[in-house]
């Protein structure tokens, strides 16, 4: 575990150093723009050993445009990507967390069964379903990188 600017620390790590890399990085209520472009995805992939996995926790709502573009971005650097989210978030009914898993030989079926049985059931989107989910998504470049959306403010009761 390191405490540092995530992108700078990532660029300083040696190649093929990790089997698992988990990014749960927020600056306030959003993911910094520096972690969203294809150059960051390539850096995440670079520090993983063959067969390693990258996991990131993102938040989004509505059409999930940020998440869709992040899937397209990760697909530029990893052979396989899947996402895990609660159904209400996937349907755009609620702002919430989406977990992306990228790497090779992802256990989509096993994760799907486990996620569906969880106390807070979630869905795994993978393969052709993920292709449909991201049909209009565009990989993020350094020029188009932006922070993730912030959650809407709760209305006072």
Q: What is the pLDDT of residues 114-136, one digit of tens each?
A: 999 999 999 999 999 999 999 99
Q: What is the pLDDT of residues 141-153, one digit of tens each?
A: 999 999 999 998 7
**DSSP string for residues in the chain:** ---S-HHHHHHHSPTT-EEEEEE---BTTB--GGGSSHHHHHHHHHTEEEEEEEEEEEEE-TT-HHHHHHHHHHTTT-SEEEEEE-HHHHTTSS-EEEEEEEESS--HHHHHHHHHHSSS--EEE-HHHHHHHTTT-----TTT--PPPPPPPPPP-
Q: pTM here?
A: 0.94
């Amino acid at each position: 575990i390191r405490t540092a600017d995530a992108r700078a620390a990532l660029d300083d790590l040696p190649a093929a150093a990790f089997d698992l890399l988990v990014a749960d990085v927020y600056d306030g209520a959003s993911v910094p723009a520096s972690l969203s472009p294809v150059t960051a995805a390539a850096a995440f992939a670079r520090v993983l050993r063959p067969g390693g996995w990258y996991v990131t926790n993102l938040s989004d709502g509505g059409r999930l445009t940020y998440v869709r573009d992040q899937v397209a971005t990760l697909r530029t650097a990893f052979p396989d990507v899947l996402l895990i989210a609660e159904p209400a978030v996937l349907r755009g009914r609620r702002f919430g967390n989406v977990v992306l898993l990228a790497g090779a030989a992802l256990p989509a079926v096993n994760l799907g069964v486990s996620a569906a049985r969880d106390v807070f059931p979630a869905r795994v989107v993978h393969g052709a379903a993920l292709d449909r989910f991201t049909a209009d998504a565009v990989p993020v470049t350094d020029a188009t990188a932006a922070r993730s959306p912030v959650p809407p403010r709760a209305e006072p009761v």
